[in-house]
Structure 1
Amino acid sequence: MEEKDIEKLLQSVRDGNTTIQDAVLELKKAPFEDMGFARPDIHRGLRQGTSEVIFGQGKTPEQILKISEKLIDNGQKSVLITRMYPEAADFFLANKADDLEFSYDKLSRIGIAGQQIEPGTGIGKIVVATGGTSDIPVAEEAAKTAEILGNKVVRLYDVGVSGIHRLLDNKAMDEIMSANAIIAIAGMEGALASVVGGLADCPVIAVPTSVGYGAAFGGLAALLSMLNSCASGVSVVNIDNGFGAGYLANMINKGFSQHLVD
């Protein structure tokens, strides 16, 4: 939808020929922009409530920069770039406009262009827990995704079942019992999700990681264990999919927080 089409639509609303609801519906149908190598979904934020995210893996540094610029030029305040390699981040920093803010975290391979996040300032509470320190890169992808979407995130790292007293510590339990959503991230046998699911009164999103020895099969063992969890309220995303978990936790937390307001 071009600017003239939007103006015509708004004039129709003003004149009483189109209802506000019908106008919103038309705006939600507004198209993408064709860049040849990519078609950024400019109005995804309007349609779904969350703007487009760039999956950096497999894209060239030039493509990542150009897509980010296109989204920001069309009004997107922040652009989240997942699976961004350090070389792409270096290229972005060297070639971006001077007034375009950009930050990069090597651990999670998350890049953020535009308006930066302020950790701890969001709504509600999402807890991100890991079985071990080796799971932190996936956990940070989940945590930073949730933060940039406007959620308050609390991190509980290295609280796996091999030392379960760490999870049952009073401080950790207080965080678990007061969360609106919990992301449980673990490799090996993936038991953390079931344990957390048996303690919490909120949805638990299980993330299997590719951490583990040979029979872990790159996260497949943890995935199957989480899918077979006997704890109620546990859902599972794909192996190492921290972004998917953070996005889903955002939807749960926002829905719960809105319910409290209503």
Structure 2
Amino acid sequence: MPELPEVEVTRLGISPYVEGEQVQKVLVHQAKLRWLVPNEVHLVEGLTIEKVSRRAKYLFLHTSVGDIMLHLGMSGKMRVVESALPRKKHDHIEILFTSGNKLVLNDARRFGSCLWRGANEPESKLISNLGPEPLTEAFDGNRLHQLSREKQTPVKSFIMDNSVVVGVGNIYANESLFLSGIDPRRAAGKVSKARYLRLSENIKKVLALAIEQGGTTLKDFAQADGNPGYFAQHLRVYGRAGEPCEVCKKNIKSKVIGQRNTFYCIGCQR
């Protein structure tokens, strides 16, 4: 599943080719995604995409009458190509521009979505109760410490709660906890303020580095055969069960926490 860094790289990748472009036509080839694609998305035809923004893992194409709200789901990806190029399998939505290019949403598993929010409508319930963005000043260790008091839930599940902070997916939670020396099984309420301060900084560091590394794939968003997705990352614990820790050489352990595979070092994390 594309996580926050992958979605942010998608935003960075499509923005130069979408912002300021006039929409000629919206083609919905498959309306049955996670939710039915509403007819209102056609309201953008003839209008200009003023801005592309992101909130959590949702992307917004802003116009004067409202926003198209996109989510990549489990397998979705976007690319910008020439409008004349034929559709590929699983290209469900094409937004054609008068410039001769088109923005394409491809989603093999159809867990993604394309929704609409009118200019005068309230914020979607899908994002109204989300926590702060992790790379902003609104997110820090003080917030984590305050919200965690008395909580018995594992700290890994706690930082993956979107009401606490958005976008800390499974890979990035594992890596951040390792860098902070915190056992992912530890109760969130048992983690000290000092350790949460360190954890919040490492979450920012891990996500920012992932986005920076993803920047090398930006050219792929404007290629006919572009297939932007996950980018090369140096993973210290994730997916390395049974392998020696790079720091202490003890074997990396694996455990399912909150229905997600969790990886940690018993020597470095306590």
Report the TM range for the smaller structure's normalisation: under 0.3
Question: Whose strand proportion is higher, 1 or 2?
Answer: 2
Q: Could you say which structure has the greater relative contact order, defined with CA pairs below 8 angstroms and 6 or more residues apart?
A: 2
Normalised by the size of structure 1, how large is the TM-score?
A: 0.23
Question: Whose helix proportion is higher, 1 or 2?
Answer: 1
Normalised by the size of structure 2, how large is the TM-score?
A: 0.23
